[in-house]
Amino acid sequence: MQVTFPHIGNAYIGIKSTLESLGTDVVVPPGCTRRTLTLATRYSPEGICLPFKLNLGNMIEAIELGADTIVNITGHGTCRMGYYHKVQEQILRDMGFDFQMELTGLSEHKLTGFFKMLKKISNNASWTQIISAFHFGLAKVTALDDIEIIANRMRAIEKEKGTITLLYREGTKAIDEAGDYRSLKNVVKDYRRRLKGIKILSGVSPLKVLVAGEIYVVLDTYANMDVELEMGKLGVVTERSLYLSRWAKRGLFYNPLGIDQYRKVHKAAMPYLKRDIGGDGWETIGEKVLGTGHYDGMVHLAPFTCMPEETAQNIMSSTKEDLPVLAIYCDEQTSKAGMLTRLEAFVDMLRMKRNRNGSRLLEE
């Protein structure tokens, strides 16, 4: 059995680690590239969102590399995403591929369903093995988020442009290669120290921007055209509304235990929207409300044609909390030019707001 799964950001490092420690043969799909996108758009329904398309592209490329089992997610109560696995399966079958699709539910099966799925694809590994493999995978995802948070903070103030990005890539690779808890711990410690120890610009207080929106495009740097990297280059610190490790822990542990970690966010969104509308739309509104005062601005990422995020965007334009929001729609375009113009203008705007008295454009 050759198991594969679609990409979302760098989650593959954790998933691969979990599956490999269970002795499963894993085919990691090649990272998203223009080829993935070309394949994906050729076989996807035209009006569907980018996450669907890219994931389908991942599956096609993984099957080409010999994968015969696809792990996919499903879930009710989210958005159209609940149907995606079925449509993707049908498209792949119509293309003449022979494979098996294993599903794990986000909202109904939770942790037990996830573990049962792991048992099935791991040739009946013991529950202890499964739990420990999963735990290690999650530790890797947590480690990745850990260094990414630091990278996105430090990139804005690095003296030599590009240092952080290079270090961060190295760190990601080292986490991927770490074989046990001990080496993982050392890698994280090492890179935390190195990322924080770079030469920085003195006397600057960078703008701080919240990056929020639909989970896939927030987490996936291919889909969002490296929006956080580009903001960092413009001297802006970015923080995300969601990180995969926290999101996974919430969905798999806290929610089943009845702990609603998003209560605060939902409560904040209440004056404007009283219920979940699917996807992350409700949370996006709450994040804007809570982020006002803490951040200089917010970048709202949404896949084009994403109903929950479009709804959120329209509501957000009239909230009394006046955090400036820049909406970026992620779709098939591969040129960054349009996004960069908007980002640069947004950053100028935030800077002007801050430096009312000094020069209008230049920092300090």
Partner 1 sequence: MGKNIYLGIDVGSVTTKCAVMGEDMELIAHHYIPTSGKPIAQIQKLIREISKEILPDLNIAGVGTTGSARYLAGEIVGADIIKNEITAHAIAATHYFPDVRTIIEIGGQDSKIIIIRNGVVADFGMNTVCAAGTGSFLDHQALRLGIRIEEFAGEAIKSKDPVRIAGRCTVFAESDMIHKQQMGHSTPDILYGLCQALVRNYINNVGLGKRIEAPIIFQGGVAYNKAIIRAFEEELGQEIMVPHHHEVMGAIGAAIIAWENHETTGARTRFKGFSISDICYETSTFTCNGCPNQCEIAQLKQGGQILARWGGRCEKWENVSHVMDKCENTGVLS
CB of 234 to partner 1, least distance (A): 11
Q: Per CB under 8 A, does 35 bind partner 1?
A: yes
DSSP 259: -
Q: Per CB under 8 A, does 261 bind partner 1?
A: no
C-alpha to C-alpha distance for 92 and 319, rounded to whole angstroms: 43
Residue from 102, 226, 239, 310 binding partner 1 (CB under 8 A): 226
Read off the amino acid at residue 338.
G
C-alpha to C-alpha distance for 283 and 240, rounded to whole angstroms: 12
Q: Per CB under 8 A, does 253 bind partner 1?
A: no
Closer residue to partner 1 (CB): 36 or 55: 36
Residue from 128, 202, 318, 357 binding partner 1 (CB under 8 A): 318
Size of the site for partner 1 (CB under 8 A): 33
Closer residue to partner 1 (CB): 138 or 289: 289
The full length of the chain comes to 364
Closer residue to partner 1 (CB): 35 or 93: 35
Residue range at the interface with partner 1 (CB under 8 A); choices 175-183, 208-216, 246-254, 346-354: 346-354
Residue from 162, 197, 256, 271 binding partner 1 (CB under 8 A): 162
C-alpha to C-alpha distance for 178 and 90, rounded to whole angstroms: 37
C-alpha to C-alpha distance for 157 and 141, rounded to whole angstroms: 25
C-alpha to C-alpha distance for 243 and 241, rounded to whole angstroms: 7
Helices (H), 220-336: 227-233, 244-249, 263-269, 281-291, 307-316
Contact between residue 240 and residue 95 where contact means Cβ atoms under 8 Å apart: no
Closer residue to partner 1 (CB): 97 or 304: 304
Closer residue to partner 1 (CB): 1 or 204: 204
Residue from 165, 255, 261, 292 binding partner 1 (CB under 8 A): 165
CB of 166 to partner 1, least distance (A): 8
Closer residue to partner 1 (CB): 182 or 320: 320
- The gap from C-alpha 21 to its chain's centroid, in whole angstroms, comes to 24
Q: Per CB under 8 A, does 331 bind partner 1?
A: yes
Contact between residue 223 and residue 8 where contact means Cβ atoms under 8 Å apart: no
Contact between residue 52 and residue 305 where contact means Cβ atoms under 8 Å apart: no
Q: Is 322 helix (H, G, I), strand (E, B) or coil?
A: coil
Closer residue to partner 1 (CB): 93 or 353: 353
Q: Per CB under 8 A, does 114 bind partner 1?
A: no
Contact between residue 58 and residue 258 where contact means Cβ atoms under 8 Å apart: no
CB of 346 to partner 1, least distance (A): 8
C-alpha to C-alpha distance for 197 and 271, rounded to whole angstroms: 44
Q: Is 106 helix (H, G, I), strand (E, B) or coil?
A: coil
Q: Per CB under 8 A, does 357 bind partner 1?
A: no
Q: Per CB under 8 A, does 349 bind partner 1?
A: yes
Residue from 128, 202, 317, 357 binding partner 1 (CB under 8 A): 317
C-alpha to C-alpha distance for 341 and 243, rounded to whole angstroms: 27
User: Applying CB under 8 A, which residues contact partner 1?
Assistant: 30-31, 33-36, 162, 165, 226, 304, 314, 317-318, 324, 329, 331, 335, 337, 340-342, 344-346, 348-349, 352-353, 356, 359-362
